[in-house]
Chains A and B, each alone.
Chain A
Amino acid sequence: IAAMMASSYNAKEEDGHHSSGSSHGGAGAVKSKKPDNTAFKQQRLPAWQPILTAGTVLPAFFVIGLIFIPIGIGLYVTSNNIKEFEIDYTGAEVSSPCFNCAKNFSWNSTTSCNCSVPFTLEQPFESNVFMYYGLSNFYQNHRRYVKSRDDSQLNGDRSSLKNPSKECEPYRTSDGLPIAPCGAIANSLFNDTLELYYIHSNGSSTAIPLVKKGIAWWTDKHVKFRNPGGSNNNLTAAFQGTTKPVNWRKPVYELDPSDSDNNGFINEDFIVWMRTAALPTFRKLYRIIQKKPNMTPTLPSGKYLLEVTYNYPVHSFDGRKRMILSTISWMGGKNPFLGIAYITVGSVCFFLGVVLLIIHHKYDNRNNSADIPN
C-alpha cells in the first residue's frame, strides 16, 4: 500500500493532473456491451412474495389444531387398545425362578439350564400376538460392535466367507479358521429359547404354537442375507473350512436344521439379531402367535408358563432380559408418546390460534392500514 500511495501522490488540482502508479495493464479494456435486459440479469424474475401475517397464519393454526388433536386422540386410543405384557426373567433376584441359571452360568457347561417363569394374563389378547425378547443395558449400538460384521460374507460371498473383513476382529478367526458368521454381532447372537405354555384351569398345560418366520425384514431375508453356495442345499459343505463363532454352541448351518429355508445365514432369528438396535434398551421380535381361525382370542386370559432355556448371560454387564407379548396396530407397538405429542402440539396450535386472533383483532383496531396483505 505504501508504494501505491507514494506513487499516486501526484495530485490533480483545478486544471491538471498526473496519472501514475497504475496497476493491471489490460484491465482498462472493458467491453462496451450493454447488459442484457433479461428478467434474470436485472433481478426482476417474476416472484411470489408471500407475507406471513397474523391474518394468513391464523387459519393455519386452527387447521393444524383441528387436524392434530383428532389424530392425537386416535393415536392415543389406538396405543391404549394395544395389549402388552412384559416379564423380566433375568434372574437377578433370589426370588426369581431363573436365579440359579443366571448364577451358575458358564460358557463351558454342556448341559443347558432351564427355568420356568409363570405369569398371568389378566386380559385376553386378540388377533396376532407378537412375542419379543428385550434386553437392557446391552450396547448393540456401540461403534466397535456395530461395525463388527461382514455384510458380503452374510450375502454369501465365498471369498469373504473364507477371508472375512478385518472389521470382524477379534471375532475374525478362531484356531486358524475363518469364523462364519464373523464379528461381534453374530458372535453374541441371542440364544435363549423361549417357549410358552397355557395352563388350563385343571393344571394341564398346552404349548402355544410359535411361528418363527416373518419376523425379519423381507428384503433382509431374501436379498441382503444369503447362504454361500447358492441353491445348494448342503449347507454343511458350503460352510466347509469355516468355524463357528466362539460363543456359539452350534455352527451356523445348524441354527434350524428342520427348515432349510431358515438355516444358515438366512435364519430369521439371526437376521433379526444382526439388525443392531438403536438404543441400549431394546426389544427384538422373537415369535409370532397367529390368531385362531375361530373367534376365540389368541391368548385367552389366564395362567401361562414361560419355559426358558437359559443360555444368554447378562449378569456380567448388569443387563436385563425380558419377554414381551404384544398385539400390534397400524401404528406398530404400544407407544403413547405419539398420541400425547399430537394432542399437545394440536392444542398448542389451537391455543396460539386463539391468542393470535385476539392480538390480531386488537392490532387491527389500533392500526387499520398496516396489516392489509397484498
Chain B
Amino acid sequence: MLRRRLNRLLGGDERRVDSRTIYVGHRPCPATEAFIPPKFCDNRIVSSKYTVWNFLPKNLFEQFRRIANFYFLIIFLVQVIVDTPTSPVTSGLPLFFVITVTAIKQGYEDWLRHKADNEVNKYLVTVLENGQKIRTESEKIKVGDVVEVKEDETFPCDLILLQSSRDDDTCFVTTASLDGESNHKTHYTVPDTEKDLESLNATIECEQPQPDLYKFVGRMHIYKKDQEPAVRSLGPENLLLKGATLKNTQKICGVAVYTGMETKMALNYQGKSQKRSAVEKSINAFLLVYLCILVSKALVCTTLKYVWQSEPGQDEPWYNQKTQREKDTNLYLKMFTDFLSFMVLFNFIIPVSMYVTVEMQKFLGSFFITWDKDFFDPEIQEGALVNTSDLNEELGQVEYVFTDKTGTLTQNNMEFIECCIDGFQYKYRDAGSELDGFCVTDGPVSKLQQKAGREKEELFLRALCLCHTVQVKESPGPGQGQADGLMDQVDGLGLGGEVLRPEEQRGFIASSPDEVALVKGAMRYGFTFLGLESKNMKILNRNNDVEMYELLHVLNFDPVRRRMSVIVRSKSGDTLLFCKGADSSIFPRVRPEEVDRIRMHVERNATEGYRTLCVAYKQLSAEEYAQADAGLREARLALQDREEKLMAVYNQVETGMSLIGATAVEDRLQEEAAETMEALQGAGMKVWVLTGDKMETAKSTCYACRLFQRNTELLELTVRTLEDGGRKREERLHELLLDYHKKAVQDAPPVKAGVTRSWSTANQDYGFIIDGATLSMVLNSSHDSNSSRYKSLFLQICQNCTAVLCCRMAPLQKAQIVKMVKNSKGGPITLSIGDGANDVSMILEAHVGIGIKGKEGRQAVRNSDYAIPKLKHLKKLLLAHGHLYYVRIAHLVQYFFYKNLCFILPQFLYQFFCGYSQQPLYDAAYLTMYNICFTSMPILAYSLLEQHICIEVLLDNATLYREIAKNAMLRWRPFFYWTVLGVFHGLLFFFGVRYLFSNPALQDNGQVFGNWSYGTIVFTVLVFTVTLKLALDTRHWTWINHFVIWGSLAFYVFFSFFWGGIIWPFLRQQRLYFVFANMLSSVSAWLVIILLILLSLLPDILLVVFRKPRGPNARQLSEDSLLQTSDRSCHTTVLQAPEGARVKGSKE
C-alpha cells in the first residue's frame, strides 16, 4: 500500500520500475532486441522462522529479548560469576525450564511450518516447456513458466489464466483458504489468446506484487507474425491466486507472474499487532514496585553489613577467617558484589514462574471459550474462535462497546418487504398467492387503490431482474439443466451470501444479501431471473416467456458512488441503462419532479427500519452508448489510476436517468439482540453503534435493540440539524455542541457509581446521534483551536449519553472514533464487534476486537481477537467468561506477588541475625522448588477453574460486572492489601519461629535444632499458609482443586522426607539430612506450625466474614430473575407504539 502511494507520488520514470515484464514461456519477443530474462525470486514459500542451524541462537535471542527473561538471565549470570549465597542452579533451573519449554513449543510450531512449507514447495506440478509436460517441484517454478493445473488442485503461484478446458474460456475457483469465501468465482482467460500455447509469443506487463487480493492491473502484448502486437488488459478476473483451488474445470494453463514470497498469499502473511491487556500493565507496575523493594532490601542489607562489620571483631573473628582472595579484594568491589549477592538472595521475590503460570493460565483458559457449547451455532456448525489468548481478562473490563449494525445487530438476512412504483406503494402480501400477488396498499398521494401503469410495473420489475450481479447457483439436480455461464462478480465483491430455500427451486449467489432479496422479490411478482448465458441475461416474464438481454456493461457497485448500473441491449435493439442505489446517490441524478413522489415512501420506509434502494433507468441512444462504451473500454485498459478513470466514466454515464421506483428490504434483528444490548448496558458498558447505514434505519434499529428508549432524549448532530437554522454549518455546529453539552453534561446530576440504568430512574437518559459528515467536521474543524475543543465537547457529551449512534461512517472513521474514546481520559477499555471487512479497522483499533462469523466473509473473524457466531454470544463472553477470567488472573497475579513476598521476607529478616552474610534461610532445594512445585499447581488450578459466582448468576445479574470495572482487583488498594498481608505473614513466620528458637532444645531428649531446622519450620509454615490461604479464597471446589491443594501439601511433606532421607552423593552438603523428620518428632515444632498457620489465616477469615456476603444465594437469585423478566416485558410494551419502530427479533 505504502509503496503504491509512494510510487504515485514519485511518478515519471519511477513508473517503469513499478511494473514488471514477464515473457510467457521465456520466449524472446520480437519487440525487444536483446532478451534478458529478468530476475525474480523463486517459488519457495518460507513461513518458517528458523533453520536447524540458526534455531538455537535465534530462538534464544528472541526469548531473552523479553525483559523478564533477560532479568532472570542477568541474575543467573551474577550467580555464576559472583560468589553468591544460592547456587546458580536455584535460578538457573527454573529459567532453563522456562526457556526450554518455550523453545520446544516454538521449535515444534516451526517444525510444523517447515512441514507445511515443504508440502507446498515439494508439491509436484506440471510445467509446459517447449511443448513437453514436465513434472517438477513447485518451488522450481520461475516467473514466466507456463503451468498446468488440474481440477481440485491449488495454484502453486499467482497465474495469469491463458487457457481453460471449459468451452467458454472461464474457470471456477474457490478462495476459501485465502479469504474464507467458499463460493465459486469465475475467472476468465485473456481474450483472443491462441489455443496453441507453444506458439504463443507474448509479454505481460503488470504491477509489482502487492498484497491486495482483489486488485491487479496488467497488460498483455501478444505478438503474431506479420501483425501489429495486440494489447489486452488484465484484471483480477484473469489472475489465479496461489492458494486458491480450481473447481468445476478439468484443467487450466497459466503463466506465472508472481512466485514464492511475492505471491499475494505470501504478502498477506503478516502478523497482527500485539495487543496488551490492562492486567499486563498492572503486572508491570507491580513488578516495578517489587523491584524497588528488592533493590532497597539489598541496599539496606549491604549498608548494614558494612556498618556492622566496622565494629571490631565482627568482620573476621578468629573462628571465621576469610580466604586470602577475599582479603585482597577491593573494598568497593566487595561492596558491589555483596549488593549483587543480596539481590540474588532476594530475587525470588520476582518469580520466573509467574510469567509461566500467567502464560499457561491464558493459554489453557482460552480453551474454555472454544469449548463452550453455548457458543456453538448449529447453523454454521461452528463455535467460538480464539485468535489470541492474551486478552481473556480484558473481556471482563470492557467499558465501551462499539458495534456495527448490519450483520451484527441485524441478521443481514434480507427480505423484500415492499416497493413503490411511480409513487404507488406495493406490498407483498402472501407468498402463496397467485401470480399477480401484487397488491396496492394505501397510496400516499391520496390515490387509494390505484396502481401504476402496467408498463411501469413491468419496467420496474425488469430493472430489478437485470440490475444486479447475482448468479444462479449451479445445482446438480437433473431438472435444472446445465446452467453454465454463471455470471460472476467481476469486481470481486464476492462475499457469498448464499440463500437457498427449498420451496424456491432456484438458489442465488450474490455479493450482498440485498441483491438476492430484490431478485427474489421480483420473482414473486412474476419476473424470474434465469441466469446469464454467454453474455445474455435470461428473464422469465409474467407470461412465462423468456426474454433475452445482452449484457453490455456492469458498472460496479462501490461505496463511494453507492450505486451500481448495468447496460443491456434488449431483443428489440434498445440499449438500456438500469441503475439502483441509495436515495442520496440516485436523487441528484434523476429528474427532480419524479423525486418528490417517491421520496416520501423512501423516508417512511427508512424510519420503519427498512433498507431502501431507488431504481432508475435511462435509454441510451446509439451515439451515447458508443461514447460510453469507448470510455469504459479505455478506462478498463488503463494501467495507472484505473479506478479513478472508471469512476469518472461511470459518473458521466449515470446521469439524466428517470426514477422508476424504490424498494424496501427488511433486515431482521439478530436473535436476542435487544437482551444482549440491555445486559451490556446493565453491566455498565456504553454501547455505541457505528454504521455506514442511513440515520433513520440505524435509529430504528437502535430503538428495536432498546439502546434508545421511549424516554431517551435524542441529541442529534447530523447534516440535517446543522442545516436547520439556515446559517453557516460551523456556527450551527458550535451552537449545538454547546447546547447539548449544557444539557447532557453540565445539568446532569453527577453519576453515582453502581446505579443501574433502569426505566424507573428519574434521571433523563440521553442518546446521541451523529453522522459521518458532521463527525469529520467535529474532528477536522477548519480552526485548529476549535478542533480540539469540539472534540472534547463531543467526547464529554457522548460519555454522558447512554447510547450513541454514529451513522454514515466510513470504516476509517469507525476506527477514528474508537481511537478517540480509547485515548480519552482514564483510558477506558474498548471493544469492537463487527462482521464485515468494513469493521476490520475498528476491530484492530479497539482493545478487544470481536468478529462475528456472519455472512460477510471472514475478514472480521480473521482480524479479530475473538470470534463468535452470533451477537447474543457476546453477553456470555463478557459477563461470564470475561468476568471470570479477570477475577482469576487478577487473583493469580496478586497471589503470586503475595506468596513470594512472604517467602522472601523471612530470608531478609534472617540477615539481621546472621551478620548480613547472605546466609539463605531455606535450603536450595526449597528455594528452587517453592515456586515450581509446592505452590504452583493450586493457583494454576484456581486460575483455571474458579467461579466465585456461578455462571448463571453472572448472566442473570449484569450489574455484577460493575464490581470488577476499572481494573478493580488490580488497583493499588488491593495490591496494598496483599502486600500488607504478605508482610504480616512474613513477619509472623520469622518471628514466631525466632521466639521458639530462643531455646533451641526443642526435642524431648534435650537435643537442639540448628539453622536448617529453623528454615525448614519457617518453610513448612509458609507452604501450608500460602496454600491454605488460597484454599480460603477458593469459592468453587471441584475435585481438581481438592486434588491439587491437598496433593501439593502432601507432595511437600513427601518430598521433604525424601530429600532429607538420603545422603545425596551429588550434593556437597547434606544440610537437610533428617532435618524434616526430626522436626516432626518435636511437639513444639508441631504446635508452633499450627499456631502460626492459624494466626496467619485469621485476618483473612475475619475479612471474609465481615465483608458483605457477595455471592447471591438461591433465593436472591430467583427474586432477581423474577424482577428481570417483569422488567423486560415492561420494556416491550413501552416501546411498541410511539416511535413506530418495529420490535423484531425480540421474541422472548
* Residues in A lying within 8 Å of B, measured CB to CB: 1-30, 32, 34-37, 41-43, 45-54, 57, 64, 68, 71, 75, 128, 130, 132, 138-152, 155, 165, 167, 169-171, 184, 187-188, 214-217, 219-220, 223-224, 247, 272, 275-280, 282-285, 288, 313, 316-318, 326, 328-335, 337-338, 341-342, 345, 348-349, 352, 356, 359, 369-374
**Closest chain A residue to B564 by CB distance?**
A16
Stretch in B31-39, B48-56, B1067-1075 with 4+ CB within 8 Å of A: B1067-1075
Bound: A148/B270 CA distance, A: 58
A6, A27, A283 — most chain B CB neighbours (10 Å):
A27
Interchain residue pairs A-B with the least CB separation, the first 6: A188-B319, A28-B180, A333-B1001, A16-B557, A11-B559, A278-B1014
Contact, CB under 8 Å: B558 / A16: yes
Q: Is the CB of A21 within 8 A of B211?
A: yes
If the complex has contacts A4-B841, A30-B382, A170-B322, are A332 and B1003 also in contact, measured as CB distance less than 8 A?
Answer: yes
Contact A20 B1105 (CB under 8 A): no
- The answer to whether B1101 and A15 have CB atoms under 8 Å apart is no
Closest Cβ of chain B to A156, distance in Å, is 11
**Interchain CA distance A282-B1013 in the complex, whole Å:** 14
Cβ of B947 under 8 Å from chain A: yes
| B318 and A147 contact, CB distance less than 8 A | no
In the complex, what distance in Å separates the CA atom of A19 from the CA atom of B999?
A: 79
- Is the CB–CB distance between A217 and B613 below 8 Å? no
**Alpha-carbon separation in the docked complex, A24 to B996 (Å):** 64
Choose, from B433-441, B670-678, B851-859, the stretch at the interface.
B851-859
Q: For the complex, what is the distance from the CA of A316 to the CA of B313, rounded to whole Å?
A: 6
A23 engages B862 (CB within 8 Å): yes
C-alpha spacing A23/B858, complex, angstroms:
10
A331-B1083, A332-B1084, A333-B1001 are contacts. A12–B692 as well, Cβ < 8 Å? yes
Q: Is the beta-carbon distance between B1040 and A19 smaller than 8 angstroms?
A: no
Q: Is B945 an interface residue (CB 8 A)?
A: yes
Question: Chain B 203-231 against A: per-residue CB contact (8 Å), 1 yes, 0 no?
Answer: 00000000111100000000000000000
Residue from B212, B265, B512 in contact with A17 in the complex, judged by beta carbons closer than 8 Å: B512
B841 close to A5 (CB less than 8 A): yes
Mark contacts of B787-825 with chain A using CB atoms, 8 A cut-off: 1 yes-contact digit, 0 otherwise: 000000000000000000000001110010000000000
User: Do A187 and B319 touch across chains, with their CB atoms under 8 A apart?
Assistant: yes
Given A34-B383, A224-B1070, the answer on whether A184 and B613 have CB atoms closer than 8 Å is no
Known: A30-B385, A278-B1010. A22 touches B213 (CB 8 A): yes
24 A-B pairs in the complex with CB atoms less than 8 angstroms apart: A1-B844, A1-B845, A4-B844, A8-B841, A9-B812, A12-B836, A13-B692, A15-B557, A17-B493, A18-B559, A21-B268, A23-B862, A42-B371, A48-B1037, A132-B1008, A170-B322, A187-B319, A219-B1078, A224-B1063, A247-B318, A331-B1004, A332-B1004, A337-B995, A338-B996
Residues of B306-349 whose CB lies within 8 A of A: 313-314, 317-324
- The residue in chain A whose Cβ has the minimal distance to the Cβ of B1013 is A278
**B505 on interface, CB distance cutoff 8 Å:** no
Q: A17-B838, A22-B858, A219-B1073 are in contact. Are A328 and B269 (CB under 8 A)?
A: no
* Of the residues A45, A187, A279, A345, contact of B997 by C-beta under 8 Å: A279
Q: Contact between A71 and B1087 (Cβ–Cβ < 8 Å)?
A: yes
B1091→A142 contact, CB < 8 A: no
Q: Which residues in A have their C-beta under 8 angstroms from that of B318?
A: 188, 247, 313, 316-317
Judge whether B815 and A5 touch: CB under 8 Å. Answer: yes
B177 within 8 A of A: yes
Is the beta-carbon distance between B1000 and A278 smaller than 8 angstroms? yes
Residue B171 at the chain A interface, CB threshold 8 Å = no
Selected from B214, B919, B945, B1010, the residue in CB contact (under 8 A) with A143 is B919
A170 vs B323: C-alpha distance when bound (angstroms)? 5
User: Which one of B387, B582, B1113 contacts A372 once the chains associate, using CB atoms below 8 Å?
Assistant: B1113
- Among listed B545-553, B745-753, B909-917, interface-contacting one: B909-917
Q: Which residues of B contact A42 (CB under 8 A)?
A: 371-373
Give the complex CA separation of A142 and B321 in angstroms. 11
> In the complex, what residues of B have CB within 8 A of residue A282's CB?
1000, 1008
A15 near B613 with CB under 8 A, answer: yes
Contact pattern, B 1088-1121, Cβ under 8 Å of A = 1, otherwise 0? 1001001100100110111001010111100000
CB of B1039 within 8 Å of the partner chain: yes
Residue contact B1087 to A342, C-beta cutoff 8 Å: yes
Contacts A13-B692, A332-B1003 given; does A22 touch B859 at CB 8 Å? yes
Bound-state Cα–Cα, A55 to B1128, Å:
36
Taking chain A's interface residues, is the majority helix, strand, or loop, or is none over half, making it mixed?
A: loop
| Contact across chains for A217 and B180 when beta carbons are under 8 A apart | no
Interface pair A47/B1082, CB less than 8 Å apart = no
Which residues of chain B in 979-1032 are interfacial with respect to chain A, using CB atoms and an 8 Å cutoff? 992, 994-1015, 1032
> Which partner residue on chain A sits nearest B2 by CB separation?
A3
Question: With a CB–CB cut-off of 8 A, which chain B residues contact A3?
Answer: 1-2, 270
* B213: A residues at CB distance < 8 A: 19-20, 22
Contacts of A132 in B (CB 8 A): 1001, 1008
A142 touches B914 (CB 8 A): yes
On whether A352 and B945 interact (CB within 8 A), knowing A223-B1063, A278-B1013, the answer reads no
In the complex, which residues 1-47 of chain B have their Cβ closer than 8 Å to any Cβ of chain A? 1-2
Other A-B pairs beyond A17-B857, A35-B370, A36-B373, 13, CB < 8 Å: A3-B270, A7-B211, A9-B811, A15-B514, A20-B837, A28-B178, A30-B382, A37-B373, A75-B1087, A139-B317, A150-B1068, A326-B1006, A333-B1002
Which residue of B494, B914, B920, B996 contacts A139 across the interface (Cβ within 8 Å)? B914
Given A149-B1069, A338-B1088, answer yes or no on A8-B1001 (Cβ-Cβ < 8 Å). no
A10-B268 contact given A217-B1074, A331-B1087, CB 8 Å threshold: no
Does B1094 contact A18, Cβ atoms closer than 8 Å? no
Contacting pair B373 A35 (CB below 8 A): yes
Contact assessment for B1038 and A47 in the assembled complex, using a CB-CB cutoff below 8 Å: yes
Q: A41 to B382, alpha carbons, bound, how many Å?
A: 16
Whether B354 is near chain A, meaning CB under 8 Å from some CB there, is: no
B300 close to A (CB within 8 Å): no
Q: Which residues of the other chain, A, contact B177 by a CB distance below 8 angstroms?
A: 25-26, 28-29
Task: For the complex, give the distance between the alpha carbons of A76 and B647 in Å.
Answer: 98
Nearest-CB residue, chain B, relative to A148:
B320
Specify which chain A residues have a CB less than 8 angstroms from the CB of B1067 in the assembled complex: 151
CA–CA, A160 and B1004, complex, Å: 35
B residues within 8 A CB of A49? 950, 1035-1037, 1111
A20, A26, A169, A356: the one within 8 Å of B212 (CB)? A20
**In the assembled complex, B381 has its CB within 8 A of some CB on chain A:** yes
Partner of B913, one of A48, A141, A165, A330: A141
